[in-house]
Structure formats: C-alpha cells, structure tokens
Chain A
Amino acid sequence: MLIKILVTFLFGGIVGLDTTAAWQVLFSHPLISCSLIGLAFGEPQMGLFFGIIFELIWFYDMPMGGARFPEGNVGSFLGLMLLLTFQDIPDIPDGWLLLIGIVYTVAASYLFGATIVWMRKQNLKLVLRADRSAAEGDAQKVGRMHRLGVLHAYLHGAVWSLLLYLPGILAVRLALPLIRRMRPLNVEMLQTLMLGVGMAVMFQLFLSRRRGWHLLLGFLCGLGLAWVS
C-alpha cells in the first residue's frame, strides 16, 4: 500500500508535468502511462486494457492555450492505481471494480483540471519576480524562476494526485459492502461501451472536415479486414 502511495506521488507529478508543462512526449497518455504502471505492478493486461479505454476519450477537450480541460491523463493514471489497490480483495463481483475505476477517473480528471487553472494563476507570481530580476539584469535569477515554475508543476501534479487518490481509496472501502451484494457486470461490455464513446470523439474530430468518402472507404476496408482475420 505504501509503495502504491509513493508511486502515485512520484508518477503523478511526472504525468502532470508531461501533459502541458514539460516534454509533452505523450508519456502521460493513458495508453502509455497505464501500460507502464500495469507492467510495473505485474498486471500488464489490466494496465493496457484501462489505457485503451481512456486513450481516445480525452481528445474531446484538448489542452490548447488557456483552455480549461479535464486532466484525463492524470485521472486515468489515478483510476488505474485505484483498480490496482483493490484488485486482490476477494468477493467483489466482476466488472464493478472497473466501473468504479471509470467513474472515479472521470471525476478525478475534472477535479484535477480545475486545479490547473489555480496553478497557472500562481505562475504569475514567478513572472513578476522574473520581471524584477530582469530589471537588475540578473539572467540566472530569471532562469531560476522558470525552473521553479517547472518544479511547481511537478509538485502540483504529485500532491494533487495523492489528494485525489486517498479519498478514492476511502470511498471504495466504504462502498465495498454494497458492491459485494451486486450482480456481476461484463467487463468486455464495459470496454465496448467506452470504446464507443471514444470512437464518437474520433469520428467528430476527423469527420468535421467533410471526409465522408474516406470514412466509407475505411469502413469497407475494416469489414474486409475483419472478414479475412
């Protein structure tokens, strides 16, 4: 448990950093981050499965410029951590843990997204300090202010990941007696539903440029591919 808390803190910061503040090498994307976390905790299939579910959905709100967006990358990572925390607990009917993980991911993404606005407002203080250093001609201090901004982004990701993860554990623990009485759900169907939502996002993104013929061509190729395989 302690290791999971530590990983949430350390990795949450990295995921938060990669989304907008630094690198942006897609390390933070659910497909990559969840696969890595799954591998690290000996549950590669669960990680990949969770990553596939959430990879496409968050393209609906992209972190462009000053846009407010749900931080789906950190949310998906936290959702997987929650699943990994409870995976060994017996008597939980099939599918319910995944369902809770999905609901928690969405909620955590929106909450974390709201905190980014706060973080960006705080960055202005660093800019004002940098202004003062620039007036003195101190380039090193200006550089230091920016590095502080990067550190701030890391700590913001790490601390908020932890602050969202711990109440998630508590909520699931409280809900366990109720969940145990439920009928099992089909995990594959849950994945299918989420992929349906994700594909609707992709459809909107690519079809908004009037590419009906390309879509139709692809659809026929897809049918052929499925038939052949």
Chain B
Amino acid sequence: MRVITKKVLKKIVMRSFYIQGSWNYQRMLNLGFCYCILPILDVLKLSKEERIAFLQRHLEFFNAHPYFASFALGATARLEEQYHREKWPSPRPIIVFKERLCGPLGALGDRLFWGTIRPLMALLGVLISLLWGFAGPAFLFVFYNVAHFYFRYFGVIRGYELGFDIVRELSKRRYENYVHVLGAVGAVFVGIFLGYFAFSTGGTGAFLFALAFGISLIFIRLRKPIYMPIFFCLGCYVLFELIVGGQIRP
C-alpha cells in the first residue's frame, strides 16, 4: 500500500518553487532537494537512525534544472517509499539513481526552458508589447507559466508514478522534438520581427536598427560581453548626435 498521498506530493510541488534557495558551488541543489523531499519523512515513520541516514543521503551533491528537478523529486519519493516498505538491503540504488539523473535533467531543462521556451516567450512578449502595449507583459507571464507550472506539477506526479522508469520517460525523443519545433518557431518570429521592424520604421530608424544589429552580431560572434555592443552603439550614436547637432530623426 502506498503511504505517500497526493496531498504529500502537492506539498513537494509547492516546496519545489524554492528548490534553488540555498544554491551553493560545492553541492549545488543539495539542501534545496532535501528541503523539498522532507514532507515524505513524516509519512514514512522512520526510526532516528533511519531519519539520520535519510537526511544525510539527500544532502549529497545534486544538481538539475529547477523545473525538471521535479521529476527527480517524485521518483525519489517513490524509491524511498519502496526502500522502507520492501526493506531493501541498501539505499545505494537511490543514491546512484539521483546521481545519474543530474545530467539528463539539467541538459533537457536548460535546452527546453532556458534555451528555447523562455527566449521565445520573451520575444513574443516584446513583439506584442510593441503592437498592443500591456498585452505583451501579460502574455509573457501567463503563457510561460502555463508550461512552467505544468512541468513542476507533472514532474513530481509522473516521477512518483514511474519511479526508476522515469529514466525511460526522460530519454524519449519527445523533449528533443519540443526543442526542435519551438526553436523553429523562434527563428520564424525573429524573422517576422526583423522584417516588420525594417519595413515599418523605415528610413533612419531602419538604418540605425540594422547598424546596431550588425555591430552587435559581430561582438556576439566574437564572444565579447554584452556591455560592449551596447556601449559601442550608444557611444557612436551620441557622438554622431553631438557632432551633427541633433539631426538624426526618424
């Protein structure tokens, strides 16, 4: 019989919003992970020695993407339950399982959220803001968080359902397909933005935009810090304005 109820899993979901609160360079998300999984400690009814062992193994090194860490939280909750209920000889599989999940969870989450969904939503937010004002920030906040909350919740629930098998779920090509499709959508919207901006501003505005875009791209390709193209473009513009005496107008 399962002792970890949906209510306990929901507590884990709520705590997962704070998982990065004590991020450190030595063991990264360890304390955050331990904090999130603490609700299961009460329902497992462990002896003092078992509690100590539980806390110590979840304070070991752990790192993942903060949203995708939910999969590890759910799956680890399931394994802890099995370990205590079925009296496994050693908790070693749990420790190894967590270690092995760090890489895939970090890589998938970084590529999907940090590298694709977040910039895509921001780009759309800016585009909508330029066209319809405050609809842009509202769009960014609402639509991004639909995906965000879904992964936080779904990760814990699905992780708990599958336990060890979550590895198979994460190795599916599904997430790679998301990255591929959303990346293509992002490229289309970058094109739309460039085309729209070039045509609608016209004249000096389009010229300055193209100039800033080109110069920045060179700096970016050379892997220079972002303050360099910003200061370079602003410096050139201000110098030119001062020399020609406020002649640059849209």
Which A residues are closer than 8 A to B by beta carbons?
Answer: 20-27, 29, 31-32, 35-36, 44, 48, 51-52, 55-62, 64-66, 70, 99, 102-103, 106, 110, 120-121, 123-124, 126-127, 130-131, 133-137, 139, 142-143, 145-150, 152-153, 182-186, 188-190, 192-207, 209, 211, 214-227, 229
B212 touches A26 (CB 8 A): no
Measured between beta carbons, the chain A residues less than 8 angstroms from B88 are: none
B24 touches A120 (CB 8 A): yes
Measured between beta carbons, the chain B residues less than 8 angstroms from A57 are: 226, 230
Q: Is B237 on the interface with A (CB-CB < 8 A)? A: yes
Q: Indicate which residue in A25, A133, A145 contacts B22 across the interface (CB closer than 8 Å).
A: A145
Produce 1/0 per residue, B196-216, CB < 8 A to A: 111111001100111111101
Q: If A27-B141, A57-B230, A60-B220 touch, does A197 touch B212 (CB 8 Å cutoff)?
A: yes
Q: If A32-B137, A196-B212 touch, does A123 touch B22 (CB 8 Å cutoff)?
A: yes
Give the 8 A-B CB pairs with smallest separation, nearest first: A218-B191, A222-B195, A196-B212, A149-B22, A200-B216, A226-B199, A134-B55, A150-B21
B187 touches A190 (CB 8 A): no
B52 touches A202 (CB 8 A): no
Q: Indicate which residue in B41, B129, B193 contacts A139 across the interface (CB closer than 8 Å).
A: B41
B187 touches A226 (CB 8 A): no
Q: Indicate which residue in B25, B59, B67, B227 contacts A120 across the interface (CB closer than 8 Å).
A: B25
Q: If A189-B250, A192-B205, A196-B233 touch, does A211 touch B27 (CB 8 Å cutoff)?
A: no
B226 touches A225 (CB 8 A): no
Which B residues are closer than 8 A to A by beta carbons?
Answer: 17-18, 20-28, 30-32, 34-35, 38, 41, 48-49, 51-52, 55-56, 59, 63, 66-67, 106, 110, 114-115, 118-119, 121-123, 125-126, 129-130, 133-134, 136-137, 140-141, 144-145, 148, 183-184, 186-201, 204-205, 208-214, 216-217, 220-221, 225-227, 229-231, 233-234, 237-238, 241-242, 245-246, 248-250
A64 touches B114 (CB 8 A): yes
CA distance A17 to B189 in the complex (A): 30
Q: Indicate which residue in B25, B63, B121, B216 contacts A124 across the interface (CB closer than 8 Å).
A: B25
Measured between beta carbons, the chain B residues less than 8 angstroms from A229 are: 200
Q: Indicate which residue in B67, B184, B212 contacts A200 across the interface (CB closer than 8 Å).
A: B212
Measured between beta carbons, the chain A residues less than 8 angstroms from B209 are: 192-193, 195-196, 199
The majority secondary structure among interface residues of chain B is: helix
Measured between beta carbons, the chain A residues less than 8 angstroms from B18 are: 21-23, 146, 150
Measured between beta carbons, the chain A residues less than 8 angstroms from B59 are: 127, 130-131, 134, 142
B140 touches A32 (CB 8 A): yes
Measured between beta carbons, the chain B residues less than 8 angstroms from A184 are: 246
The majority secondary structure among interface residues of chain A is: helix
CB distance from A207 to the nearest CB of B (A): 6
Measured between beta carbons, the chain B residues less than 8 angstroms from A29 are: 122, 140
Query: Could you list 22 examples of A-B contacts with CB < 8 Å?
Result: A22-B20, A23-B17, A26-B144, A29-B122, A70-B225, A70-B227, A123-B23, A134-B34, A136-B52, A139-B51, A142-B59, A183-B242, A185-B241, A199-B197, A200-B212, A201-B226, A204-B220, A206-B183, A211-B184, A216-B191, A218-B188, A227-B199
A229 and chain B: residue at smallest CB distance: B200
A186 touches B249 (CB 8 A): yes
Measured between beta carbons, the chain A residues less than 8 angstroms from B190 are: 199, 202-203, 206-207, 215, 218
CA distance A226 to B197 in the complex (A): 8
